[in-house]
Structure 1
Amino acid sequence: MMPLLGKGMLLTFTDVSARDERDYNEWYNREHIDDRVNLPGFHRGRRYAAVRGTPRYLAVYECDSVAVLGTPNYLQTLDNQTPWSQRVMARFTHFTRLTLRIQVDQTHGVGAALATVRFVPDLHRRNALVEFLSTQILPKLIARPGVLGAAVGENDLEVMHAPLQDKSMDHPRADESEWVVLVEGADVAAVGAAARSLFTTSRLRPFGVEAAPAITTWRFLFGNQR
């Protein structure tokens, strides 16, 4: 196994209008990923495009711990964006930011495809959920052809609500701690089918999950690490 590069993760789901898409993608590939990866505590950044649906873009950043995402140094970086960043971010039509504490890591390298599974469990059943996912679900998931590994993260509300100063983004407060499963694979269809098969409402209901999990498949665009 080749685990994630740290125990914390930042996810950003973004979208822009079609007329701004080229500049947005050039900015991400030529400036933004590298800027973030070079911050203290960050190690790897990757970005993806949705195979279908919206938002159309996902960025994944691996860091030492979720605490890195609430440090004064990091928050100061958010408040001092480059001119190119300010221009692109002002044109976001969608922005969701999740600061994850990694609860389970059974990853194996980096795949060309990713599925994300998002749901909100009862936090009083956290330990049972971690046990269930790590021993029952993820091993079955990873054993499927075309699937290479998976990780589970819990959104840390305290870190997510750290005071961000960038006025070009909307940062609504969340009251529920969302969980995200990231399924890595070599094939988009394989990771999507595996996620839909194993992450059903009936399997998650014992852990307080009331709504059907939101499952999206993504294709890899670009990444960098140090």
Structure 2
Amino acid sequence: MALLGLGAIAMWWDIAPEHRAEFEDWHTHEHFVERMGIPGFRRGSRWAAADGGEGFFVMYELEAYETLVSPAYLARLNAPSPWSTKMMPHHRHMVRSQCRVLESCGGALSRHALTVRLSPADGDADRLRLHLRGLAELLRSRPGTTAGHLLQHQTPKIEATTEQKIRGGPDPAADWIFIACGYEQAALQALLGAELSDQALVTAGARSGALSGLYALSHSNTSCDVR
């Protein structure tokens, strides 16, 4: 499996230009280091909007889904640092999905990532998963692309955390997430007009209205990097 485990956290948010420099400093030099020190956290990656906009996509790869309810992780969520407490209110329009990894093919990191947030139509989850599994397998060897990953959100049974309260309450979540990685941005853009277009996804068993975003890799750490 290309992703470094069976669980993941996938997140999207916007950072206003006046806070961006400090956000990237904090996220790189404190927050990633802190998260990668938690047992079960294997890799974190931050991607910035490819068009130069305010959006970010962040993914943490976890050894297991159960890492999301581990005492060590919950302790960090309920004891944010002073710098985290300062920065988290600036995470605008946050979407945060705590996921099981359903499919993963190819290399997990590449220059660009295309994320598609979608949901299966009633009764079509198995058919949609089979379709996206086949697409992921194709992407790991197609010119311009390197990988495809499918995640499914499942809300852990935990109380609201201090970090969540700082951000202003429960975070919305994406249901299913398909992530296509590649070294050519044009190859990922082409996917949006073909296999990952809304019409193609509906035909494969998804509900209409999938949301997509294209991002460029900004920074990544593994747990080994911060020891």
TM-score of the two chains, using structure 1 as the length reference: 0.87
SS for the counterpart of 1:159 is: coil
CA shift at 1:201, angstroms? 2.8
Fraction of identical pairs, as percent: 24
- Partner residue in 1 for 2:170: 172
Alignment of 1:158-197 (within 5 A): 158-159=155-156, 163-166=160-163, 167-172=165-170, 178-197=175-194
- Partner residue in 1 for 2:36: 37
CA shift at 1:132, angstroms? 1.9
The answer as to 2:186 corresponding to 1:205 is no
TM-score of the two chains, using structure 2 as the length reference: 0.87
Contact 2:97 2:174 in 1 (8 A): no
Contact 1:121 1:207 in 2 (8 A): no
CA shift at 1:20, angstroms? 1.2
Aligned partner letter, 2:184: D
- Partner residue in 2 for 1:141: 139
Contact 1:115 1:218 in 2 (8 A): yes
Q: Which runs of 5+ in 2 are unaligned?
A: none
Alignment of 1:73-92 (within 5 A): 73-92=72-91
- Partner residue in 1 for 2:128: 129
CA distance in 2, matches of 1:161, 1:53: 36
Aligned partner letter, 1:186: Y
CA shift at 1:98, angstroms? 0.8
Q: Which runs of 5+ in 1 are unaligned?
A: none
Cα deviation digits, residues 37-75 of structure 1 (max 9, x gap) = 111110000101011386511111100122211333312
The answer as to 2:220 corresponding to 1:223 is yes
CA distance in 2, matches of 1:150, 1:223: 18
Distance 1:164-1:107 versus aligned 2 partners, 3 A rule:
farther
The answer as to 2:62 corresponding to 1:59 is no
Contact 2:119 2:206 in 1 (8 A): yes
CA distance in 2, matches of 1:143, 1:160: 38
CA distance in 1, matches of 2:56, 2:116: 15
CA distance in 2, matches of 1:126, 1:151: 16
Aligned partner letter, 1:31: E
Distance 1:109-1:19 versus aligned 2 partners, 3 A rule:
closer
Q: Kindly report structure 1 stretches of 4+ aligned residues shifted beyond 6 Å.
A: none
Give the count of matched residue pairs.
Answer: 222
Question: How much is the aligned-residue C-alpha RMSD, in angstroms?
Answer: 2.3
